[in-house]
Structure 1
Amino acid sequence: MTRYVYGKYRDGPDPLAPPYDVRAALDEMGDAILAGASPMDALRDLLRRGLPGPGGRRGLDDLLREVLRRKRELKQRTRLDGTLERARALLDKAIGQERAELDRMAADPAQAADAAFRRELLDGLPPDTARAIRELAGYDWRSDAARRTFEELRALLRAEVLDSRFRGLRDALADPDPAMLERVRRMVSDLNDMLERDARGEHTQDEFDAFMRKYGDIFPERPRNLEELVDQLARRAAATQRLLASLTPEQRWELNALIEQTLEQAGLAEEMRRLSDTLYARRPDLAWTGQEEVSGEAPMSMGDAVTALEELADLNALESALRQDYPGARLDDIDEEMVRRALGRSAVDDLEALRRIERELEAQGYLRRTRGRLELTPKAVRRLGESALRRIFSSLETGGRGEHDQRDAGYAGEPTGTSRPWRFGDEQPIDVVRTVVNAVRRGGRPPVTLSVDDFEVVETERHAAAAVCLLIDLSYSMALRGTWAAAKQTALALQSLVSTRFPQDAVQIIGFSNYARVLRPDELASLDWDMVQGTNLHHALLLAGRHLDRHPDFEPVVMVITDGEPTAHLMPNGVPRFEWPPSQETIALTLAEVDKMTRRRATINVFMLAADERLKAFVEEIARRNGGRVFSPSPDRLGEYVVRDFLRAKARR
């Protein structure tokens, strides 16, 4: 029987995931926008946090934390002088084996003089490894074991030096195979020639493909073109330079001497110099200088150390890109291939999801660019209002009339439980069941054909429409007390509630500071407080009265959100006048507008967002004159109070 093993899908995004819903991203941005952030700042904040919940994606901060963790781990396990340490150990081993053989020779009178001469040569070797190896290059070893150890040392250096420039050559050059070394020489020469032709504009992709067919096994990363190959080699060459710079001066000199000596002995010194100069000229933007502070205890080979420094360079560049803290920073600045190398495929998917957020917010009509700035569209404002309303409804107690979702929301009446024949111009919903029953009775067996006479509509009772006025304090104190975002969210929620569930109502939102002004629904989300002096409730009530007078047959609803008593009024010439403490004229004119509201049968309910005694006395006077109520909600429950009060008034009517 065939056996199947199931596991987590790891080859890209989940192919069975639901379609991308950018509305969740807009909802996440909503709180920041309502608190006064610009759409661009709110979007950048969202990209830093990521998308929470099931199917969410990590944000830039999550990826940055992963980068910092990888850097810390890599530095703690990396030690750069491993090749020097191993070379010194092999050299000491070879010299020790040779001395043991010389001791045996000294016992033979015929060989004693030769043994003494050779021991003197070994005693006079320079203390540093590089010069000692150079002087022993022509030494005629008397010990076969010492000769094999020294050849192992030279093979090690040859493999490590070339592996530091061409990843993967260490294993290929582990054995002293002259044919393999000659092939490497030809490859470097052919590569230099190809780079020179490319500089003259003569290189073709066919030439590169032929080069890879011939030498592709030397390049395990399988570059697809010359630019990718140059990038891989340049990054490795730059990491080699940083490795040398990160050693002590003595270690740097010693390892550099070993590299030069090894390349000369391999017949590669001139070609490698040509290649290094070309790589630097083509990629001067790489980190060719600088030191890496590493603290590992286990020594690493030169090739492995270069690989570690390559990865550290990627992580350093990725850290800078993910911080996005430089002028003009964009997500497109983050190199996807670098993310893949450093953090894996899942991080690439997270990054692509973040990039999609901005694209989809524009493509789906939630954001638009105007003169380089991101702005909310009316569609986005409606969405924020719906989200604010959902949050408010989720906190309302269930069971109360009008305090839960209604299936027939949007129609101008309530179903009576009966139906009647459809007439031209009817806006009531179709009674589908009765309509189909009428068609069956008239036509008999299926297929059933509907005619105009079959249609029936749900009979409804029209409820009294309301003229709603929400007056919001825009003064600076609202921002200082942290109540501004709650007031905006409340205005959006009420606007959404009236427009979607009670479309027959006429709602007007009025903001007031030194002046009062009518606020359009599409400007509510980006609305900001006014940094001016004055709380001109007098002017706001004037505008509200005009709105009520334009709808004389509507039930009047007036709600005021404020955190301070009136400190300004509108003078006859239309100029506001500010006084603190409030003048008697300001109080008298404001209460006169309250009396006019009372004569219009408009109840004023005040939502007081501060515990100031003067404000409390003033709103109690409004309640005494008008018969309205006073509420003192906390900012996080302001929307719940306002919506509940509105729905209670609707139910009462």
Structure 2
Amino acid sequence: MRHHQSSRYGRYDGGPDPLAPPIDLSEALDAVADDVMAGYSPAQALREFLRRGGRTMAGLDELAGRVQQKRRDLLSRHRLDGTLQEAKKLLDEAVLEERKQLARDIRMDDTDRAFREMQLQNLPASTAAAVTELADYDWQSDTARRAFEEIKDLLGRELLDQRFAGMKSALENATEQDRTAIAAMLRDLNDLLDKHARGEDTPEDFQNFMAQHGDQFPEDPKDIDELIDTLAERSAAAQRMLRSMSPEQREELMALSAQAFGSADLLDQLNRLDANLQGLRPGEDWAGSEQFDGDQGLGLGDGTGVFQDLAELDQLSDQLSQSSPGSTLSDVDVDRLSRQLGNEAAADARTLERLEKALRDSGLLQRGTDGDLRLSPKAVRKLGTSLLKDAAGRLSGRQGQRDTRLAGAAGELTGSSRAWQYGDVEPWDVTQTITNAISRTVAEGRNPRTGLRIEVADVEVQETEARIQAAVALLVDTSFSMAAEGRWVPMKRTALALHHLVATRFRGDQLQLVQFGRYAQRVDIDELTALPPMREQGTNLHHGLMLATRFFRQHPTLQPVLLIVTDGEPTAHLLHHGGAGPEAWFSYPPDRETLRATIAELDRVGRLGAETTFFRLGSDPGLVDFLAAMARRVDGRVVAPDADDLGAAVVGEFLRSRSHPSDRLGPD
């Protein structure tokens, strides 16, 4: 006979999803790079991204917020007098049933009945005191007697459930033999802990204890330290619960506890256990307390479980905050997170951990000589590729079509091809390359249909017209207003996109980046990328133009291209004091001498034949008029893009200048 087996499918919860797609680092790298360019260190930027999360995953802040929300829900939902209320309910039931029995029993002596009724009538308001007073009462009603005995049984089970999770239900309807076994376990446990505290225990002592009482410990500890950790965590939670009660509730509970199982021996053993555990694990929180204001009463066992949940939530909150030195996401206890917030939250935490590890292992972040994390050259190239692609997309959308091919930046195609040489960046002539491979394969006596292998000698590239190489100076304003007006990151993204374009598509060109604030200086791309927002005042375009002029003169055979990004009129220029170094003179509004010095330096650039474009960020009338006049002096252009469109504007102007080096248009 054929046996048919049915299959059941559910959410995978055995750790990281084996079918999960590989981590996509592009979103993380873009976010980290944006924060780095805004002034964060790479380490801070990475932490910020992990806090925010991505488009499809929760970040640490969201997970931490859910942890805190659950904590608030627990405190607002519950109160701590559940056991006291249940004991009072059983006492009221016992007294009511006893009164009914006294009223029904016609054979009872009237004097005895009156005495009993008076005794029940005058019970103390305190449940604990009433239970103590009725400890020796001779119940006439079997129902009342059972209800009263249930109070003692309830207290015993609740006290045990506080220290040993699950005892309340396990001991329901327990026999005297069961209680005796529990008492023996407690004595043996305390003896073992006493011995361990003195350093006299052996592994055999633990094994013998577990062999005799192991069924009382579903956690299945592997050694005495695991046993102590489990018990101490719950015992400390029980102490915190006791401290969180009002003084009246605490006094009432302690008095009632003496009646547990009808004997004070249980309470004595539990107090001894608490003392042993506190001595062995003093690092647990034995003195904390919480403020509950809900309406759902908690018994001692359930309440202790809630306090354990609160402790877990606090630990998770600390882990998710990543505030400790050297913290990583591997510190987050994913099992606890799953237990408290569910599998989806655990999956998000695992994804964040994989992402953090992947970023560190990918080579996109590296430690400098000072030990700090930095964007690696690989990350800068990857980011430059992304920014250049974005700029090209914006350029295409703005012009309606791609009128300039970034991949064909070596010049106009002539229609012919030639053999590839080392250093060529022209596109392949695919048809001719494959034809060469087929011809060589046939000449070697092999059938191309059985396999075709392209060798370097087969490769031909599309020939292009010769073009003039360029010396490109990109001057970027780093004055205070650039950071204050939200133009800092777009400026950096623009520089990085242009740098990547020149480095990958115009390798014969020379690019110099110059930042100008109170002073100007040449910067490498990684220095500019990591540059924090400048807080000094001053727009020293004069100094920036001086550095550009020096750069152009260092490359006299290259076509000079000058690109200037600024959002303000010049407010500083250099003063020379004989043998002393130059000093920046600052004045706002712009001083006439500052404007005169800046214009004079621009004229020097113009005499070198530099094709000049100003990118104006801002609409101040003085800036508009000044840049328009500057552009007219050197037959240049003024482009006024939005900050987000700056990269596309600069790349577009650079490509225009490379495609039509002799084109001279007036200002826009």
| Shared fold per TM-score greater than 0.5 | yes
CA distance in 1, matches of 2:362, 2:478: 32
Q: 2:551 aligns with which of 547, 551, 554?
A: 547
Deviations 1:136-182 (A, max 9, x none): 22333222222222222222221112112210011221113122212
Q: Which is further off, 262-271 or 153-162? A: 262-271
The SS at the match of 1:621 is helix
Which residue is 1:578 aligned to?
Answer: 585
Letter in 2 for 1:86: E
**C-alpha distance after superposition, 1:254-307 (max 9, x if no partner):** 112112331771632332122101222333343333443333333333222222
1:42 counterpart residue number: 45
* Pairing of 1:7-86 with structure 2 (within 5 A): 7-53=10-56, 57-86=57-86
Partner of 1:613: 621
What is the CA-CA distance between 1:41 and the residue it aligns to? 2.4
**Are positions 1:98 and 2:98 aligned together?**
yes
The residue that corresponds to 1:563 in the other structure is 567
Distance 1:206 1:404, change over 3 A: farther
Picking from 418, 424, 434, the partner of 2:416 is 418
Tell me, what secondary structure is at the counterpart of 2:530? Answer: coil
> 1:541-563 deviations in whole A, cap 9, x for unaligned?
12112222232232221100111
Instruction: Note if 1:269 corresponds to 2:277.
Output: no
Partner of 1:487: 491
* 5+ residue gaps, structure 2: 662-668
Amino acid at match of 1:368: Q
State the shift of 1:201 in Å: 3.8
Partner Cα separation in structure 2 for residue 507 and residue 377 of structure 1? 20
Of 279, 287, 290, the residue aligned with 1:289 is 287
SS at match of 1:507: strand
Note the aligned Cα RMSD (angstroms): 3.0
Tell me, yes or no, if the aligned pair for 1:245 and 1:291 is still in contact at 8 Å: yes
Contact 1:533–1:578 (Cα < 8 Å) also in 2: no
- In structure 1, runs of 5+ residues without a counterpart are none
Q: Amino acid of the residue matched to residue 91 of structure 1?
A: L
Q: Is the 8 A contact 1:415 1:458 kept in 2?
A: no
CA deviation string 1:592-623 (max 9, x = no partner): 22222222221110011122233222212211
Which one is further off, 393-402 or 499-508?
393-402
Partner of 2:304, secondary structure, is: helix
Structure 1 residue 453 displacement after superposition: 11
Cα-to-partner distance string for 1:296-352 (whole Å, 9 max, x where unaligned): 333333222222222123223433443456788765664445434322344334334
Structure 1 residues 237-246 or 175-184, which shifts more? 237-246
Q: How far apart, CA to CA, are the structure 1 residues paired with 2:394 and 2:425? A: 33
Q: Structure 1's 587 and 424: CA in aligned 2 closer, same or farther, altered over 3 A?
A: closer
Tell me if 1:639 matches 2:639. no
Match of 1:433 in 2: 434
Which amino acid counterpart does residue 93 of structure 1 have in structure 2?
Answer: E
Number of aligned residues: 645
* Larger deviation, residues 203-212 vs 216-225: 203-212
- Corresponding residue of 2:631: 623
Per-residue deviation, residues 561-582 of structure 1 (Å, max 9, x unmatched): 1112222223345413314243
Contact 1:492 1:525 in 2 (8 A): yes
Distance 2:538 2:171 in 1: 83
Instruction: Please report how far the alpha carbon of residue 433 of structure 1 lies from its aligned counterpart in structure 2 after TM superposition.
Output: 0.4
Write the mapping of 1:235-254 to structure 2, written as runs, cut at 5 A: 235-254=233-252
- Give TM-score, length-normalised by structure 2: 0.88
Residue type at the aligned position of 1:510: V
Aligned partners of 2:330, 2:299: CA distance in 1, in Å?
36
Map of 1:247-396 to 2, 5 A cutoff?
Answer: 247-262=245-260, 265=263, 267-324=265-322, 331=329, 334-370=332-368, 371-396=370-395
**Equivalent AA in structure 2 for residue 158 of structure 1:** G
Shifted more, 283-292 versus 75-84: the winner is: 283-292
Report if the CA contact (8 A) 1:467-1:507 is conserved: yes
Q: CA deviation at 1:101?
A: 2.7
Per the alignment, do residues 255 and 39 of structure 1 end up closer, same or farther by CA in structure 2, a change over 3 Å counting?
same
Give me the whole-angstrom Cα distance separating, in 2, the residues matched to 1:69 and 1:6: 31
Q: Displacement, 1:451?
A: 10
The answer for the alignment partner of 2:665 in structure 1 is none
- Equivalent position amino acid for 1:25 in 2: A
Q: State the Cα deviation string for residues 472-521 of structure 1 (Å, max 9, x = none).
A: 11112211222111111111111112112222221111111222111112
Partner of 1:516: 520
Give the secondary structure class of the aligned counterpart of 2:563.
strand
**Contact kept? 1:402, 1:651, Cα under 8 Å:** no
Matches within 5 A, 1:38-187: 38-53=41-56, 57-105=57-105, 107-108=106-107, 111-187=109-185
Paired with 2:596 and 2:647, the residues of 1 have a C-alpha distance of: 30
Identity percentage of aligned residues: 43
Change (3 A) 1:287 1:568: same
Q: Distance in 1 between matches of 2:391 and 2:30?
A: 14
